[in-house]
Structure 1
Amino acid sequence: MTPPDASQNRWSDLDRPPLNVPALRRGLLRPDGLWTSLDVVDTTGSTNSDLAGRAAELTEGTVLIAEEQTAGRGRLDRTWSAPARSGLFFSVYLTPGDGVPVHRWGWLPLLAGVAAATGLAKAAGVDMALKWPNDLLVTVAGEERKTGGILAERAANGVVVGIGVNVSLHADELPAPNAASLALAGAVSTDRETLLRGVLRSLEHWYEEWRSADGDAAESGLQAAYAAGCATLGRRVRAQLPGDLSLTGEAVAIDGDGRLILSTDEGLQEPVSAGDIVHLRGAEGGLT
């Protein structure tokens, strides 16, 4: 008898076992908690797209996790891919409209960044940092690298927030030279269930604090927490803006609307609400 193709065996990589769905549900779904349902699919194009397509029928606190994403999306239409079961790929549906004005919903991706960074730092034992607005950074061999990202999208009466984190990727599996994984950053644990519980519990905590303050980022402590963990602040950066425009200066603050404030060479304080941020080294030389 011909043995089965190892590539088709879900246990072929014992370092990357599948998630235990019943255990996750027992640990995260509570009658008085934020998370109301949790499902895991073997593979999908994008968990964000899946939830956004069903948003009108979802309840707040829906969680969808994929063992593998084949068309994961990041900001600026970038793609996100990784081997099956090598990371955390999930989305949640939130409806902050009861008490939180819509103009404050822009804080949700930054809130998710704080939650992911604090949850992962505790569960994985890795120093995490945030690159404005929504990249998760770790340090590998003295170099700052991206290990995760966040994408928030309006859908129906709420927001779908997607989080992707490279957990166990080896160096030869990284999608880009500036990418990393928690394992490469020296994580004390790469157990995805432990990490997922840590992130979702942290997200629940920060979301409830923010919503209890009617979305006021200062009152809830979110603005200060983001600034404290933001590696962009105090750096010379280039903001690549919509319309092929750019702005260079020192990142000096995160304002009450979640915008990055740049102090330009002309002495102006310029707020950046959307764009791609490049961390510059030296005068204008290398970048991260």
Structure 2
Amino acid sequence: MTPQNPSDDSRWSDLDRPPLNAAALRRGLIREGSLYRRIDVVQRTGSTNADLVARAAARDAGEGTVLVAEEQTAGRGRLDRQWTAPPRSGLFFSLLLEPREVPVARWGWLPLLTGVAVATGLARAAGVDTALKWPNDLLVTVGGEERKAGGILAEGAGADGVVIGVGINVSLREAELPVPQAGSLALAGAQTTDRDPLLRAVLRSLEEWYGRWRDADGDPAVSGLQETYTAGCATLGRTVRAELPGDRALVGEAVALDGDGRLVIATDQGVQEPVGAGDIVHLRLA
């Protein structure tokens, strides 16, 4: 047998990173009464979010459509920051939601809901304690240090829809990290890096939390979302520096998450100021 070249395009070029089983994912997630209607797995694309937004605009996708990529060449986070990883080294997917019965003013909770769902799903399937850095980062502990192992990006899809994109580093090795501050489930001691059960667990958790939130008309308190996010948020209780547009900075203790999902920062001047995700350029520990 001829040895595989790790740099070629073979689906099995890295035997430690087998391809996802699309048929098994569909069997496990698409059923009568479930959120999921369609699950597509592609080998490579620029951005699953961009693709799914375009499909929604063309009416080629409805609520419950999931698009998964084995590799993203133009993955991005908030403010168009790049997100890159080797093929089949992580979970890169987008989900189209259409919460028409929920007031639009509460749709801003969807990225936070996704964070709670992903953290819950990974805890169940991988045994990894995942913390949430407000507003859209997933943190794991590697060698006693908090590192970013994932991120969430929400984008509008027409008047009725929202596309939620998720990127999670699963099997990245230390030498493959894009920056030293990054991490992965493998480096955090995950019980498994098999992406099939990990993706199923995350999508089932998303379905559960989305249903709970939607049944409560998007109320973050009634659905338990606000309390659960607060309990898992690594940002709260720390002194942070919020860099805002116009070269303005706000320094203080992150003390709470308000009913609109905004981070409340208490300054030395005794003022408590809420900031929204859309207002933040950077949020750092001070």
TM-score normalized with structure 1 length: 0.95
CA contact (8 A) 2:4 2:13 kept: no
Match of 2:7 in 1: 7
The alignment partner of 1:265 has SS state of: coil
Cα RMSD, aligned residues only: 1.3
CA distance in 1, matches of 2:255, 2:214: 27
- Using the TM superposition, give the Cα deviation of residue 76 of structure 1 relative to its aligned residue in structure 2, in angstroms: 1.5
Q: Distance in 1 between matches of 2:251 and 2:2?
A: 62
Q: For residue 279 of structure 1, what is the aligned residue in structure 2?
A: 285
How many residue pairs end up in the alignment? Answer: 279
Equivalent residues in 2 for 1:206-285, closer than 5 Å = 206-274=209-277, 275=280, 276-280=282-286
Residue deviations 1:125-145 (CA, integer Å, cap 9, x gap): 011100000100000011000
Deviation track 1:3-36 (CA, whole Å, cap 9, x = no partner) reads: 7755323212111000011100000111210010
5+ residue gaps, structure 2: none
Q: Distance in 1 between matches of 2:220 and 2:90?
A: 29
Question: What is the aligned-residue identity percentage?
Answer: 70
Distance in 2 between the 1:39 and 1:243 partners?
41
2:166 corresponds to: 163
Asked if the contact 2:46–2:75 (Cα under 8 Å) also holds between the matched residues in 1, the reply is yes
Structure 1 Cα separation of the partners of residues 20 and 150 of structure 2:
19
Q: 1:2 to 1:149 in 2, by over 3 A?
A: closer
Amino acid at match of 2:174: A
What is the one-letter code of the residue matched to 2:209? W
Identify if the C-alpha distance between structure 1 residues 6 and 264 changes in structure 2 by more than 3 Å, giving closer, same or farther: closer
SS in 1 for 2:35: coil
How far apart, CA to CA, are the structure 1 residues paired with 2:13 and 2:261?
44
| Residue identity matched to 2:207 | E
Alignment pair present for 1:126 and 2:128: yes
Report the counterpart of residue 138 of structure 1 in structure 2.
140
Cα separation, 1, equivalents of 2:98 and 2:165 = 14
C-alpha spacing 1:96/1:129, structure 2 compared with 1 (3 Å) = same
What residue ranges of structure 1 are gaps of 5+ in the alignment? Answer: 281-288
Q: Find out whether 1:172 has 2:171 as its counterpart.
A: no
